[in-house]
Structure 1
Amino acid sequence: MNRIKVCIVTHLFLPHVGGIEKVVYEQSVRLPQERFEPIILTSDVTRKSEYTLDKLKVYCYPTIKAGFKLGIPYSIPKPKGYRIFLKHIGKCNIVHVHGHPYPSSCLAVKVAEKFSKPIVLTQHNTFIDYGSFWNIVEKLNDLIVGKMVIKAADKILVVSNATLNYVLSLGAKRQKTEVLYNGVDLERFNPEKRSKLKIRRTVGIPEDSFVLLTVRRLVYKNGVDTLLESAKRAIEENPHLLFLVIGSGPDREKINAKIREFRLEKNFRLLGFVPDADLPHYYKAADLFVLPSKSGEGMPLVLLEAMACGLPVVATNVGGVPEIIDRDCGKIVPPNDAADLAEALLEFSRSDISAYSKKARELVERKFNWNRNVERLIEIYEELI
């Protein structure tokens, strides 16, 4: 029996770290090898040619890296990349593109239509507020590239009901659109049996601090500026709070300057990039996870990872976040509101969080499972070919 060849198109892929990259990887490696042959088409941002990652064949097309210096991961395939799309899409049974606004998605669906290949689109985010003229560019891109990709797709998968409403506003047909929640690796992200103090010693965190962890790229939409304002307020009341921010990005120097201005060097630390393999240690060493995003969240994986590790969460009311958190495992606050966020953080620092921790783990076990996600994805592939 011939295996089903799936050409998965993503503008970025591992070793570049991001939410879409993780989703593509987790789904692809879980496709049963005896029935499926997935290949990845991605940009040459991190690698220049083809490579193999955990038995996944990855092929890179040359790109113009249009927005990276501004912190916007947007690249445009060069003309000779067209041949790579023709070669691999022509040989596959189904094309699965990730993200509607990217030129690579546009090129992939045009080539798929040329060869009459069925198209699956997964949309990961809602509208992203960049806080600049890029909002206008994004809206125009949605109307030109995004709508074209959405119209061409035979099946549209969205990661939350918020993302569903977003693609419907861009012309998606409800009958071909389905919510398919992301998952989390429940074995890798789990409550540690070792004591929290031992883990803190391992990663160099003070034992007597109440640790608030954030894993975010340092860009406007992710709200680290709001988190810093709330930290200033909260630390005035509780100087034992320690804020740890994992992630890099173009706003790092701006945030560092604010940390110095507020004199929070001891209580607010930018840890920079941390390898994905080390993230579970930081989740398990923390007391509370904070997601201060301003916009664009479809189904944030870091939130699921934190909850799988037994962390209660405080997050802003954006995108699909309210579909993850209930009052038994955390709290939702308005975006861009440092005062409300500070009060929520202080509330948890004064509370017994053990019950929240247990409920957080139970919720992700019940609702956000990669195996269940991939079972449905397989059904969709088989329905379309």
Structure 2
Amino acid sequence: MADKVLLITEEFPPCVGGAGSVAFQNARELGRRIEVSVLTRRRKGTRELAIGEPFSVRLVQTVPKVWAFPFALKLRQLDLSLYDIIILNDIGAAYAAALALTDEELERSVVYTHGAESEQILSSPTLRHRLSGISFLYWRAIQKCNCIIAVSEFRKGQFVDTVGVDSIGQKTSVVYSGVDRSTFYPDSANIRGRHDIAGHTDILLSASRLVERKGYADMLEVFTELHRAGHSFHWIVAGDGPYRNTLLRNVEQAGMSPWVTWVGELSKDVLRTYYSSVDLFWLLSEFQEAFGLVYLEANACGTPVIGRELGGVSEAIDDGVNGFLVANHTDCKKILAERYYRKIKRKDILDWANTLDVEATVHRLRTVMNEVATSTEFSEKDI
């Protein structure tokens, strides 16, 4: 059994990102059941963030551009025999571990793959990647590790196809990034009054980093066409990023400013009140998203969703059950115009979120970890 875990991650809150969120979530949920230690980069606020959490944190003071070497040095100072499993949460962690760990230590490791960055390092490394040796070392990590975890079936397919090695595919498992039901749940807050939105107007919400390929141009086109056709909607946009000023300008040029509200980046607790108060969450991302956790967060608050049928989003949305998958903005416009989302049962939405909550996904992670620990024990006995 895996009772003591070392989780190594280059990215960790308050550094925002999908990999860091998964690391924090896994550390918290695993820490409620077993002993978990997190090794991550020293950042302002990380130690304070961990106060009261069921895991311990070790911080590494790093140097820009050569940060992996202090990481590796710290790893060599630890007694790694104390840990049943070592989780390498991201590429940075795998890089540092491949620098520092022996083959036997890597065989007790689990490597996470969150996005297509790993394929770029393996198949199309930059000059910097080649000079730093990261491609070679990352390859060593995934070859020697006991198991690779992908955050969706789509992500697994991407990774295995790129690597093209049967043995890598055979040891790659899927563990979804579950939604935290202690943070996201139906909330009684009323944002309609807060933003002075009329009772007969349906509220749409989008929340993401504001970058062009998250689908905001398509959504604005749909929203504008619906308004000009006489449909009553109000759109709330949460988040910030480099596309914000362009989107703001495009909204003004389309004459939609009275019906679009900007709320900026929101804490998870505040975001929960928005998810719970709106009629629909929509995000038509053009990225090959590894998964679609943001849709599950909305579902956990009882809200139906619309997402583009692309990448791992198709695994987060069961079409017609918790929301809708669309191929283009024409499909999306029809769903909105006909108010099809009103026909989705709230119970079905919440039931779907329950099947992919953090408790279920961490149970799956523990199963994988125990299999790794068991296989390692037998291997050591053979020796």
Bin of the TM-score, shorter chain as denominator length:
0.7 to 0.9
- Of 275, 279, 289 in structure 1, the residue corresponding to residue 267 of structure 2 is 275
1:167: Cα distance to partner? Answer: 1.3
Change (3 A) 1:147 1:90: same
Query: Deviations along 1:257-284, whole A, 9 cap, x unmatched?
Result: 2222222212223321101121110001
SS at match of 2:291: coil
Counterpart in 2 of 1:345?
Answer: 336
1:155: Cα distance to partner? Answer: 0.6
SS at match of 2:75: helix
Query: Deviations along 1:281-304, whole A, 9 cap, x unmatched?
Result: 000111011121112312222111
Contact 1:85-1:111 at 8 Å conserved across structures: yes
Taking the aligned partners of 1:107 and 1:48, their CA distance within structure 2 comes to: 20
SS at match of 1:201: helix
Counterpart in 1 of 2:101?
Answer: 112
Contact 2:152-2:175 at 8 Å conserved across structures: yes
Question: Where do residues 184-333 of structure 1 align in structure 2 (5 Å cutoff)?
Answer: 184-192=179-187, 194=188, 198-201=190-193, 205-238=197-230, 240-325=232-317, 326-333=319-326
Taking the aligned partners of 1:239 and 1:279, their CA distance within structure 2 comes to: 26
1:353: Cα distance to partner? Answer: 1.1
1:235: Cα distance to partner? Answer: 2.3
Determine if the alignment matches structure 1 residue 379 to structure 2 residue 372. no
Counterpart in 1 of 2:38?
Answer: 40
Q: Say which structure is richer in helix.
A: 2
- Of 168, 171, 175 in structure 2, the residue corresponding to residue 180 of structure 1 is 175
Determine if the alignment matches structure 1 residue 170 to structure 2 residue 162. yes
Structure 2 residue identity aligned to 1:124: H
Contact 1:95-1:112 at 8 Å conserved across structures: no
Taking the aligned partners of 1:332 and 1:47, their CA distance within structure 2 comes to: 38
Change (3 A) 1:97 1:374: same
Change (3 A) 1:125 1:347: farther
Query: Deviations along 1:180-211, whole A, 9 cap, x unmatched?
Result: 2222233442334x4x7x45335765533211
Counterpart in 2 of 1:30?
Answer: 29
Q: Which has the larger radius of gyration?
A: 2
1:253: Cα distance to partner? Answer: 1.7
Taking the aligned partners of 2:218 and 2:127, their CA distance within structure 1 comes to: 25
Change (3 A) 1:107 1:258: same
SS at match of 1:266: helix
Change (3 A) 1:372 1:328: closer
Change (3 A) 1:88 1:232: farther
Taking the aligned partners of 2:215 and 2:289, their CA distance within structure 1 comes to: 12
Counterpart in 2 of 1:58?
Answer: 57
Q: Can you give the 5+ residue segments of structure 1 that lack an aligned partner in the other structure?
A: 67-75
Q: What TM-score does the superposition give when structure 2 sets the normalisation length?
A: 0.81
Among all aligned residue pairs of Structure 1 and Structure 2, give the percentage whose two residues are the same amino acid: 24
Taking the aligned partners of 1:359 and 1:28, their CA distance within structure 2 comes to: 29
Structure 2 residue identity aligned to 1:41: L
Cα RMSD of the aligned pairs, angstroms, is: 3.4
Change (3 A) 1:164 1:49: same
Comparing 268-277 and 107-116, the one that deviates more: 107-116
Change (3 A) 1:145 1:332: farther
Contact 2:69-2:96 at 8 Å conserved across structures: no
Structure 2 residue identity aligned to 1:191: P
Query: Deviations along 1:315-359, whole A, 9 cap, x unmatched?
Result: 01122111232223321112xx444433333233xx461534332
Taking the aligned partners of 1:316 and 1:126, their CA distance within structure 2 comes to: 19
SS at match of 2:247: helix
Contact 1:232-1:262 at 8 Å conserved across structures: yes
Taking the aligned partners of 1:323 and 1:254, their CA distance within structure 2 comes to: 31
Query: Deviations along 1:111-143, whole A, 9 cap, x unmatched?
Result: 23367241111222357999xxxx976899696
1:88: Cα distance to partner? Answer: 4.3
Counterpart in 2 of 1:80?
Answer: 70
Counterpart in 2 of 1:363?
Answer: 352
Counterpart in 1 of 2:376?
Answer: none
Instruction: Give 4+ residue runs of structure 1 displaced > 6 Å after superposition.
Output: 48-51, 127-130, 135-143
SS at match of 2:275: helix
Comparing 315-324 and 11-20, the one that deviates more: 11-20
SS at match of 1:310: coil
Structure 1 residue identity aligned to 2:60: Y
Change (3 A) 1:151 1:263: farther
SS at match of 2:257: coil
Taking the aligned partners of 2:176 and 2:43, their CA distance within structure 1 comes to: 28
- Figure out how many residues of one structure are paired with residues of the other and give that number: 360
Contact 2:14-2:49 at 8 Å conserved across structures: no
Comparing 5-14 and 44-53, the one that deviates more: 44-53
Determine if the alignment matches structure 1 residue 122 to structure 2 residue 112. yes
